[in-house]
Chain A
Amino acid sequence: MKRKLVVIGAGMASGRMLEQLFDAAPDAYEVTLFNAEPRGNYNRLMLSPVLSGEKTYEQIVTHDDAWYAAHGVDCRFGEPVVRIDRKNRVVYSGSGGAPYDALVIATGSAPFIIPVPGKDLPGVVTYRDLEDTQAMIDTAGKDAVVIGGGLLGLEAAAGMAARGARVTVIHLMGHLMERQLDPAAGYLLQKDLERRGITVHCKGATKAILGTDRAEAVLLEDGTVYPADLVCMAVGIRPEVRLANDAHLEVERGIVVDDALRTSDPHIFALGECVEHRGQVFGLVAPLYDQAKVLAQTLLDQPAMFAPVQTATKLKVTGCDLFSAGDFADAPGREDIVFRDPGRGIYKRLVLESDRIVGVVMYGDTADGAWFYGLMKDGTDIGPMRDTLIFGPAFQGGAAPDPMAAVAALPPEAEICGCNGVSKGAIMNAVAGGACTLDAVRACTKASASCGTCSGLVGQVMALASGGEVQDTPAGLCKCTDHSHEDVRRLIRAMGLKSIPAVMQELGWKTVGGCHSCRPALNYYLLAEYPLEYRDDRQSRFVNERNHANIQKDGTYSVVPRMWGGVTTPAELRAIADAAEKYNVPMVKVTGGQRIDLLGVRKEDLPHMWADLNAAGMVSGAAYSKGLRTVKTCVGKEFCRVGTQDSTGLGIRLEKLMWGSWTPHKLKLGVSGCPRNCAEATCKDIGVVCVDSGYNIVIGGAAGMEVKETRPLASTPSEDEAVEIILAVTQLYREHARYLERIWKWMGKVGLDWIKAQVVDDLANRRALVERFEISQSVYRRDPWADLSTPTETPKWAPLADLTLEAAE
Chain B
Amino acid sequence: MTVFVDIGSLDDIPRQGARLVRTAQGCVAVFRTADDRVFALDDRCPHKGGPLSEGIVHGTAVTCPLHNWVFDLNTGQAQGADDGAVGTYAVRVQGGRILIDASLIRRSAAA
Q: A: which residues have CB within 8 A of B? A: 174, 182-183, 253, 279, 328-336, 351, 511-516, 519-520, 538-543, 546-547, 551, 553-555, 796, 799-807
- Min C-beta distance of B40 to chain A, whole Å: 9
Q: Quick one: given A543-B65, A551-B66, A554-B49, are A801 and B8 in contact (CB under 8 Å)?
A: yes
Give 17 pairs: A residue, B residue, CB < 8 Å, sorted on A. A329-B36, A332-B74, A334-B60, A336-B60, A512-B34, A512-B59, A543-B55, A551-B51, A551-B65, A555-B51, A555-B54, A799-B22, A799-B27, A800-B30, A802-B21, A803-B5, A803-B23
B2-14 contact mask (Cβ, 8 Å, vs A): 1 or 0: 0001011000111
- Min C-beta distance of B52 to chain A, whole Å: 10
Q: Which of A331, A516, A520, A802 contacts B55 (CB 8 A)?
A: A516
* Contact yes or no, B66 A539, CB < 8 A: no
Residues of A with C-beta under 8 A to B17: 538-539
Q: Which of A332, A516, A547 contacts B58 (CB 8 A)?
A: A516
B109 at the interface (CB under 8 A from A): yes
Name the residue on A nearest B22 (C-beta). A802
Name the residue on B nearest A175 (C-beta). B34
* Contact yes or no, A333 B74, CB < 8 A: yes
- Min C-beta distance of B11 to chain A, whole Å: 10
* Contact yes or no, A329 B58, CB < 8 A: no
Report the Cα distance A512→B59, complex, angstroms.
Answer: 5
Q: Which of B12, B30, B39 contacts A332 (CB 8 A)?
A: B39
* Contact yes or no, B108 A803, CB < 8 A: yes
* Contact yes or no, B22 A515, CB < 8 A: no
* Contact yes or no, B56 A801, CB < 8 A: no
* Contact yes or no, B59 A516, CB < 8 A: no
* Contact yes or no, A513 B7, CB < 8 A: no
List 13 other contacts, CB 8 Å, given A182-B35, A334-B60. Answer: A279-B95, A332-B73, A335-B60, A512-B34, A513-B34, A516-B56, A516-B70, A539-B14, A555-B49, A801-B8, A804-B22, A804-B24, A805-B22
* Contact yes or no, A513 B16, CB < 8 A: yes
- Min C-beta distance of A720 to chain B, whole Å: 42
Report the Cα distance A560→B70, complex, angstroms.
Answer: 29
Report the Cα distance A515→B70, complex, angstroms.
Answer: 10
Name the residue on B nearest A331 (C-beta). B37
Report the Cα distance A334→B34, complex, angstroms.
Answer: 14
* Contact yes or no, A547 B54, CB < 8 A: yes
Q: Which of A279, A512, A801 contacts B21 (CB 8 A)?
A: A801
- Min C-beta distance of A544 to chain B, whole Å: 8
Interface residues of B, dominant DSSP: mixed
Central interface residue in B14, B35, B54, by most chain A CB within 10 Å: B35
In the complex, how many residues of chain B place their beta carbon closer than 8 angstroms to a beta carbon of chain A? 56
Q: B: which residues have CB within 8 A of A? A: 5, 7-8, 12-17, 19-24, 27, 30, 33-39, 48-51, 54-61, 63, 65-66, 68, 70, 73-75, 88, 91-95, 98, 104-106, 108-109
- Min C-beta distance of A254 to chain B, whole Å: 11
Report the Cα distance A554→B57, complex, angstroms.
Answer: 20
* Contact yes or no, A800 B21, CB < 8 A: yes
Q: Quick one: given A800-B21, A802-B22, are A513 and B95 in contact (CB under 8 Å)?
A: no
- Min C-beta distance of B108 to chain A, whole Å: 4
Report the Cα distance A42→B36, complex, angstroms.
Answer: 35
Report the Cα distance A806→B23, complex, angstroms.
Answer: 9
Residues of B with C-beta under 8 A to A555: 49-51, 54
Report the Cα distance A554→B66, complex, angstroms.
Answer: 10
- Min C-beta distance of A205 to chain B, whole Å: 13
* Contact yes or no, B36 A328, CB < 8 A: yes
Report the Cα distance A716→B59, complex, angstroms.
Answer: 52
For the complex of A and B, the 3 pairs showing the least CB-CB separation, nearest first, are A516-B63, A800-B19, A801-B7
Report the Cα distance A351→B14, complex, angstroms.
Answer: 21
Residues of B with C-beta under 8 A to A513: 16, 33-34, 57-59
Q: Quick one: given A332-B74, A803-B24, are A511 and B38 in contact (CB under 8 Å)?
A: no
Q: Quick one: given A279-B95, A555-B51, are A511 and B21 in contact (CB under 8 Å)?
A: no
- Min C-beta distance of B97 to chain A, whole Å: 11
Report the Cα distance A65→B61, complex, angstroms.
Answer: 59
Residues of B with C-beta under 8 A to A515: 56, 58, 61, 63, 70
Central interface residue in A182, A538, A806, by most chain B CB within 10 Å: A806
Residues of B with C-beta under 8 A to A332: 39, 73-75, 88
- Min C-beta distance of B51 to chain A, whole Å: 4
Q: Which of A279, A333, A800 contacts B8 (CB 8 A)?
A: A800
- Min C-beta distance of B76 to chain A, whole Å: 9
Report the Cα distance A351→B33, complex, angstroms.
Answer: 13
* Contact yes or no, A519 B14, CB < 8 A: no
Residues of A with C-beta under 8 A to B63: 515-516
Name the residue on B nearest A182 (C-beta). B35
* Contact yes or no, A182 B50, CB < 8 A: no
* Contact yes or no, A329 B66, CB < 8 A: no
Q: Quick one: given A331-B92, A804-B22, are A542 and B65 in contact (CB under 8 Å)?
A: yes
* Contact yes or no, B38 A330, CB < 8 A: yes
- Min C-beta distance of A330 to chain B, whole Å: 4
Q: Which of B7, B51, B65, B94 contacts A800 (CB 8 A)?
A: B7
Name the residue on B nearest A351 (C-beta). B35
- Min C-beta distance of B103 to chain A, whole Å: 10
* Contact yes or no, B51 A803, CB < 8 A: no
* Contact yes or no, B56 A542, CB < 8 A: yes
- Min C-beta distance of A134 to chain B, whole Å: 34
Name the residue on B nearest A512 (C-beta). B59
- Min C-beta distance of B57 to chain A, whole Å: 7
* Contact yes or no, A334 B16, CB < 8 A: no
Residues of B with C-beta under 8 A to A806: 5, 105
Name the residue on A nearest B60 (C-beta). A334
